[in-house]
Amino acid sequence: MDERPGSGGEALFSFLYDVVIVVVARREDLIPAVRARYDMIPRRPDGSGDRDILYLDPMRNRGLGGGQGLRAPLASWISLLVSVVALLVAAGR
């Protein structure tokens, strides 16, 4: 990220490459800093820089609320139970 690439497709490719590196490192908070280095790529007219981070992590710091924390693990166990019953019925025929 030391050199600034030229304009056009090369700049966009380099920008996306740098953003992928930041996301893989789980440092999505650095995306605005990476974006600031690429002033040759036009910005959106609405100017919402937080929209990129929202797209990458729509849940943010929120957990599974409203009882979903209980239902989500039960769903996998119920699925396992249905699979075992289906296997037993199929084996019994």
pLDDT tens string, the chain, 93 residues long: the values are 445 555 567 888 888 899 999 989 988 888 888 888 888 877 766 655 566 666 666 566 666 555 555 556 777 888 999 999 999 999 988
* SS3 of residue 63 by DSSP: coil
Structure tokens that stand for 1 in this block: 């990220």
Q: How far apart are CA 72 and CA 28, in angstroms?
A: 27
Q: What pTM did the predictor assign? A: 0.42
User: How far apart, in whole angstroms, are the C-alpha atoms of residue 60 and residue 11?
Assistant: 29
What are the C-alpha distances in Å from 29 to residues 9, 33, 35, 45, 75? 25, 8, 11, 21, 33
Provide the pLDDT for residue 2: 45
Q: What is the pLDDT of residue 62?
A: 63
